[in-house]
């Protein structure tokens, strides 16, 4: 398990900058809420940023851009009590390719 703080990922192009800006402006939704099921990262988040394990939610941006063939969204953790956000990163999903018949 990772320990310590994980630094925010830096946008590498204009599309990522816009996506991050939009997410930080509130265009987001939870993808896992700590009160429903504790996050695996909850102990690390509590140790580094405080709060209780059930206070931590995993968030995602509402928008996704296609960048270099990947669907890109922003993911991060939010303390639901303080509404502070931590550890922004870009989640890239590449399309699955069908196996070739040889």
Mean pLDDT score of the chain: 91
pLDDT band at 98 (very low <50, low <70, confident <90, very high): low
In this prediction, residue 101 carries a pLDDT of 67
Q: DSSP letter string over 72-89?
A: EEEEEEEETTT--EEEEE
Give the predicted TM-score (pTM) of the model: 0.86
Cα–Cα distances in Å, from 37 out to 6, 14, 33, 41?
22, 35, 7, 11
Structure tokens, 62: 């509402």
Q: What is the pLDDT of residues 24-54, one digit of tens each?
A: 999 999 999 988 888 999 999 999 999 999 9
């Amino acid at each position: 398990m990772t320990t310590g703080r994980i630094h925010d990922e830096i946008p590498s192009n204009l599309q990522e900058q816009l996506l991050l800006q939009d997410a930080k402006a509130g265009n987001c939704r939870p993808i896992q809420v700590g009160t429903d099921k504790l996050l695996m990262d909850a102990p690390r988040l509590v140790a580094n940023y405080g709060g209780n394990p059930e206070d931590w939610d995993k968030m995602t941006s509402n928008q996704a851009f296609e960048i270099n063939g990947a669907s890109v969204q922003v993911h991060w953790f939010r303390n639901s009590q303080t509404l502070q956000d931590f550890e922004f990163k870009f989640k890239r999903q590449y399309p699955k390719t069908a196996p070739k018949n040889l």
